[in-house]
């Protein structure tokens, strides 16, 4: 059984969505990242963060790595362009961009930080927003015409930044993207599960 280390309404929510898209059995191992995380969890994730997965004793951390590993381990879902496919480069770029640029730029904005973009690897918030706007204005999904594992990360991230943190500009291109993704049954299942977990953790009414 695949073990999924997860906290509701966190960076691991996109992986919960991915698991629903894959349709494989998994068990959620709750991690209270907002409270007390036992030191023993460092054996799973060195910074005591989520997500992490354990597949038959093989532990994978970091969202980009988890998404690529899962999508390629379960290829029947068709969520990762294969080597040599035209959209492969855009897919890989999007997965890494979600972790290395989108997330830190959103977190910095949510915390009200001011900084010189040239001094940080993730650059400016405005450049990130401009890039996403250009990508999603040119194609229906983050890596091209087809839905991929990268959309689970960007879809979950844009939803959270737009509707929960309220730091992402409310642009029609982002709303249209979320509407397309929201029609997917796996998205609806993931949202319901995460809300149930959040309620159980006392985070939602």
- Structure confidence by residue, pLDDT tens digits, 146-169: 999 999 999 999 999 999 999 999
- Class in CATH terms, 2-78+187-200: alpha beta
Q: 187: number of CA atoms within 13 Å, CB side?
A: 19
Residue that has been written with the tokens 């998994």 in this structure: 26
Helix (H, G, I), strand (E, B) or coil at 202: coil
Query: 69-127, pLDDT tens digit by residue?
Result: 999 999 999 999 999 999 999 999 999 999 999 999 999 999 999 999 999 999 999 99
| Average pLDDT rounded to a whole number, residues 124-132 | 98
Distance CA 188, CA 201 (A): 20
- Sheet strands (E) in the chain: 2-6, 26-30, 52-55, 58-61
151: cis peptide before it, omega within 30°?
Answer: no
**DSSP assigned state of 81:** P
Share of the chain above pLDDT 70, in %: 99
Q: Domain limits of the chain?
A: 2-78+187-200, 88-184
Q: Tell me if 2-78+187-200 shares its fold with 88-184.
A: no
Judged against a pLDDT cut of 80, whether residue 40 lies above it is answered with yes
Q: Please identify which residue in the block is written with the tokens 């906290």.
A: 7
Does the pLDDT value for residue 205 go beyond 70? no
pLDDT over 80 (residue 63):
yes
CATH 2.40.10.10 fits 88-184, yes or no: no
CB-count burial class (<10 Å; 0-12, 13-18, 19+) for 142? buried
């Amino acid at each position: 059984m695949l073990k999924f280390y997860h906290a509701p309404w966190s960076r691991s929510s996109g992986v919960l969505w991915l698991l629903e898209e894959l349709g494989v059995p998994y068990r959620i191992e709750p991690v209270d990242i907002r409270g007390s995380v036992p030191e023993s969890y460092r054996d799973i994730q060195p910074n005591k963060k989520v997500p992490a997965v354990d597949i038959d004793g093989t532990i994978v951390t970091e969202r980009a790595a988890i998404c690529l590993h899962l999508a390629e381990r379960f290829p029947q879902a068709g969520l990762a362009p294969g080597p040599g496919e035209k959209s492969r480069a855009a897919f890989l770029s999007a997965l890494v961009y979600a972790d290395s640029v989108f997330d830190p730029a959103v977190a910095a904005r949510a915390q009200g930080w001011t900084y010189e973009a040239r001094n940080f690897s993730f650059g400016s918030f405005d450049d990130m927003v401009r890039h996403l706007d250009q990508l999603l204005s040119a194609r229906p999904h983050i890596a091209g015409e087809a839905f991929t594992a990268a959309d689970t990360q960007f879809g979950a991230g844009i939803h959270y930044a737009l509707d929960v943190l309220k730091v992402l500009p409310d642009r029609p291109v982002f709303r249209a993207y979320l509407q397309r993704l929201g029609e997917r049954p796996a998205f609806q299942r993931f949202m319901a599960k995460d809300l149930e977990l959040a309620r159980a953790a006392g985070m939602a009414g």
